[in-house]
Amino acid sequence: MLPSQIQIKKHKEYSGHTAAIYRLIEGYNTNTFISAGGDGLVAVWNLSEDNVGNAIAKTTSSIFSVCKLPGTSLIAVGQLTGALQIIDTETHSIIIDITQSPHIIFDITVNENYLFASSGKGNVFVFDISNFQLIHTILLSEKSIRCLHIINENMYAGASDNYLYKISLHDFSFEKIETPHTNSIFSLTYIPNTQQLISGSRDAQLGIINLNDETHSMRLIPAHLNTINHIAYCAGNGIIATASRDKTIRLWNAEDFTLLKVIDTKYEAHKNSVNNVFWTADSKFLISCGDDRRIIQWQILIDNK
């Protein structure tokens, strides 16, 4: 894939949040998505409609993490205050509060058995997903655990001590992996066909680890001018999107990590830090959000001729 094969079109824009937006996830059908941010608002939006959003819930502090619970209408939200709550998207109500700590919840992920939440105190909390009872606390670091990513029988955690942690989902034992990053690891994604784990850091670099290599050696690519806040890989088109505090979104070829496009002010993009991105199920659109309180839907056109 070459840069000349990619065209970017600003397709739609959504507004309604009154503070920075930190998280976007796909909704409970493929035509919707969910947003949350500094105003404590959780909202659902329709991909095919202009600027039509519905509030799901309002929390008392900024929301930094959101995760769907498979097979239910529930989402988990983590907040600046350390609050961790389960919200029913159908009844628009908080059904249970499972807060464990006064420290920020940076990320939440789930598998068929557990809900995991990472904190600013260096912990990962493990809950039974069937009843939300805390069953284990994994102390990984003295610094914040910024991101979590499950790959098969393991979960990887990126931390503010610049290390990765590989956690067994069988017994919650872990391995500390040294990286060449010089600052916090903010985001992780995975490319299944090449078995590569990709990290994004406050040092503005992308890290690439081949998980087949037992040494876990990482190479770095200078990727942005400031912090990489989030990474999203799309298997449908083979593109990695990175969102940065430098106000840009960059698209990368997942095969060779060449830069394909920079989405910046010439596309009427975000005016401040871009905090999160996600790909729609059909691989045709990228949704972004940022400190400017805007959500933008980008159409990604690929000429395969």
For 258-271, how does the pLDDT look when each residue is reduced to its tens digit (9 = 90+)?
A: 999 999 999 999 99
CA-based nearest residue to 170, from 100, 114, 132: 114
Domain that holds residue 19: 3-302
Please give the backbone phi and psi of residue 67, each rounded to the nearest 5 degrees, phi first: -150, 135
CA distance 276 to 38: 13
Instruction: Read off the pLDDT band of 303 (50, 70, 90).
Output: confident
Residues 124-138: tens digit of each pLDDT: 999 999 999 999 999
pLDDT of residue 32: 94
Checking if the pLDDT of 305 tops 70, the result is no
Give the DSSP per-residue string, 104-169. Answer: -EEEEEE-SSEEEEEETTSEEEEEETTT--EEEEEE--SS-EEEEEEETTEEEEEETTS-EEEEET
Res. 171: pLDDT tops 90: yes
User: What is the pLDDT averaged over residues 195-213?
Assistant: 95
Look at residue 300 in the predicted model and tell me its pLDDT.
95
In this prediction, residue 162 carries a pLDDT of: 98
Contact present, 250 and 8 (Cβ < 8 Å): no
pLDDT on residue 84? 97
pLDDT of residue 69: 97
Alpha-carbon gap, residue 164 to 184, rounded angstroms? 10
CATH number of the domain at 59, please.
Answer: 2.130.10.10
Provide the Cα torsion 245, 39, 18, 291; round to 10°.
Answer: 0
pLDDT 10s digits, 289-302: 999 999 999 999 98
Confidence of residue 218 (pLDDT cuts 50, 70, 90): very high
Question: What pLDDT, on the 0 to 100 scale, is given for residue 1?
Answer: 67
Q: Per mean pLDDT, which range of 93-97, 114-118, 185-189 is the poorest?
A: 93-97
Confidence label for 213 from pLDDT (cuts 50, 70 and 90): confident
Does residue 136 come out as left (phi exceeding 0), alpha (psi in the -120 to 50 range) or beta?
Answer: beta
Query: Could you tell me which of 111, 124, 209 has the C-alpha nearest to residue 159?
Result: 124
- For the chain, the domain total comes to 1
Interatomic CA distance for residues 189 and 218, integer angstroms:
14
> Is the sign of the CA dihedral 161, 226, 278, 234 positive or negative?
negative
At 51 the pLDDT is 73
Average pLDDT, the chain: 95
52 has pLDDT over 80: no
Query: How sure is the predictor about 21, in pLDDT bands with cuts at 50, 70 and 90?
Result: very high
